[in-house]
């Protein structure tokens, strides 16, 4: 096992810089998820750690050793790809054993490692099959087994579940997390799926256009997003964003209509009278009695999901759009009027210019 240290990592393709100075100290045995939308640079960052892309500036260190100029084979990392990359003419056993045979490892040790990995991944009964005789989930487990037998210092995962159907992704998420807990090997996992990130990662690196917008635990990123981008990317449905103004006494937020919301007692007094971007997650609205609500909301459309209900509508004279996520089943008809409240500690404030979080 080993830690991984990223120090001011940059990557340029010609004059186009795509990675803008990433710093992160990944602890020994930690599971890090690099999360972001398509084109944000997350796979490029992973490939630089693996040695498949050259680093334009900065350093990657594995187990305290700088590996910038090392070949991928010498970095003692193992990578699971999105498309499995199995040899179609080989059995499961030979796919898992191939890398060890190339290293001229003794036959007895190869068999021991392969059978041990097959036991962990529940592949023992499939060792004589070819990849075409396996399901998508079984092929992905074989690809993981090929990494396990190498006993590397670091596991690298490049969107390994994106080709699987929804039910199988849930199953494989659980298997990957259990595998990490059993082996306790430092793991770096790339995905665009926030559910995978929130359920798998000890910490997240949320990428935005080649920069690390925030690094923190899943709950830290969810509860205190550092930027408007992070706030909007994490959470489903996405956070509601509203134009607002802090009152002159810094006690409440005016929402550009007759509605206002109270601010926490530790609200930023230095921003009294200033415009802000207000963020409210759909699940943080509460339906209250008509005379106790702070926002008068009109229903436009309802999606009943069973465990909860998504409600789309608007409020105020300007008909500002809002999305609610309410627990249980609510079969509201169109134009139903609801009175809503939000706890002050569930409000997120962002600077309109910098898009950074305003800390209360």
- Which of the four pLDDT bands, split at 50, 70 and 90, describes residue 317? confident
pLDDT per residue as tens digits for the range 26-35: 999 999 999 9
Q: Give the domain 4-233 fold.
A: Rossmann fold (3.40.50)
The predicted structure's pLDDT at residue 359: 77
Q: Determine contact, residues 23/7, Cβ cutoff 8 Å.
A: yes
pLDDT per residue as tens digits for the range 206-222: 999 999 999 999 999 99
Longest Cα–Cα distance of the chain, Å, equals 78
Least confident of 169-183, 265-279, 313-327: 265-279
**Residue 1: CA atoms inside 13 Å, Cβ hemisphere, count?**
13
Which helix (H) or strand (E) covers residue 148, if one does? helix 136-148
**Residue 1: pLDDT over 80:** no
| 190 phi and psi angles, rounded to 5 deg | -100, 135
Enter the pTM of the model. 0.90
- Which of the four pLDDT bands, split at 50, 70 and 90, describes residue 45? very high
The predicted structure's pLDDT at residue 255: 83
pLDDT per residue as tens digits for the range 288-299: 876 655 788 999
Q: What is the DSSP string of 59-83?
A: EEEETTEE-TTS-GGGTTEEEE-TT
> For the structural domain made of 240-350, what CATH number should be given?
2.40.50.140
**Mean pLDDT, to the nearest integer, of 111-130?**
92
The predicted structure's pLDDT at residue 121: 87
The predicted structure's pLDDT at residue 262: 82
**Mean pLDDT, to the nearest integer, of 96-112?**
92
**Residue 61: pLDDT over 70:** yes
Any idea of the CA torsion for 189, 154, 200, 207, to the nearest 10 degrees? -30
pLDDT per residue as tens digits for the range 188-205: 999 999 999 999 999 999
The predicted structure's pLDDT at residue 322: 95
**Mean pLDDT, to the nearest integer, of 339-357?**
92
Across the chain, what does the average pLDDT equal?
A: 91
Q: Determine contact, residues 213/237, Cβ cutoff 8 Å.
A: no
Quote the percentage of the chain above a pLDDT of 70.
96
**Mean pLDDT, to the nearest integer, of 40-56?**
95
The predicted structure's pLDDT at residue 211: 96
Residue with tokens 């803008």: 20
The predicted structure's pLDDT at residue 293: 56
The predicted structure's pLDDT at residue 19: 96
Q: Determine contact, residues 33/189, Cβ cutoff 8 Å.
A: yes
**Mean pLDDT, to the nearest integer, of 80-93?**
88
The predicted structure's pLDDT at residue 258: 67
Residue with tokens 């390994």: 160
pLDDT per residue as tens digits for the range 232-289: 999 999 999 999 988 887 778 888 656 778 877 666 666 778 899 999 999 999 998 7
Q: Where are the domains of the chain?
A: 4-233, 240-350
Q: Which residue did the predictor score with more confidence, 58 or 83?
A: 58
Go through the chain and tell me how many residues it has.
Answer: 360
């Amino acid at each position: 096992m080993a830690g991984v240290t990223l120090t001011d990592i940059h990557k340029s393709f010609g004059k186009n810089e795509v990675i803008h100075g990433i710093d992160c100290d990944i602890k020994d045995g930690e599971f890090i998820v690099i999360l972001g939308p398509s084109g944000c640079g997350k796979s490029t960052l992973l490939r630089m750690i693996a040695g498949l892309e050259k680093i334009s500036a900065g350093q990657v260190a594995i187990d305290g050793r700088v590996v910038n100029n090392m070949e991928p084979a010498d970095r003692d990392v193992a990578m699971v790809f999105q498309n499995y990359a199995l040899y179609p003419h080989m059995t499961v056993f030979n796919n898992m054993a191939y890398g060890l045979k190339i290293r001229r490892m003794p036959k007895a040790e190869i068999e021991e490692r392969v059978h041990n990995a097959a036991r962990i991944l529940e592949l023992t009964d499939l060792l004589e099959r070819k990849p075409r005789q396996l399901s998508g989930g079984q092929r992905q487990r074989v690809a993981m087994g090929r990494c396990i037998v190498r006993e590397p210092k670091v596991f690298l995962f490049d969107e390994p579940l994106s080709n699987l159907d929804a039910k199988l992704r849930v199953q494989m998420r659980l298997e990957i997390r259990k595998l990490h807990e059993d082996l306790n090997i430092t793991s770096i996992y790339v995905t665009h799926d926030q559910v995978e990130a929130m359920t798998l990662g000890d910490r997240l690196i949320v990428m935005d256009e080649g920069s690390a917008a925030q690094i923190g635990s899943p709950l830290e990123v969810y509860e205190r997003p550092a930027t408007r981008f992070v706030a909007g990317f994490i959470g489903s449905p996405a956070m509601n964003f509203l134009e607002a103004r802090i009152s002159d006494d810094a006690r409440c937020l005016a929402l550009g209509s007759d509605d206002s919301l109270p601010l926490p007692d530790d609200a930023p007094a230095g921003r009294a009278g200033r415009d802000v971007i207000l963020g409210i997650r759909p699940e943080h609205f509460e339906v209250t009695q008509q005379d106790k609500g702070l926002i008068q909301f009109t229903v436009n459309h309802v999606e009943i999901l069973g465990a909860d209900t998504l409600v789309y509508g608007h409020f105020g004279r300007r008909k500002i759009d809002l999305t609610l996520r309410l627990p249980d089943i609510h079969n509201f008809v169109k134009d139903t009027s609801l009175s809503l409240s939000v706890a002050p500690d569930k409000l997120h404030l962002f600077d309109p210019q910098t898009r950074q979080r305003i800390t209360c």
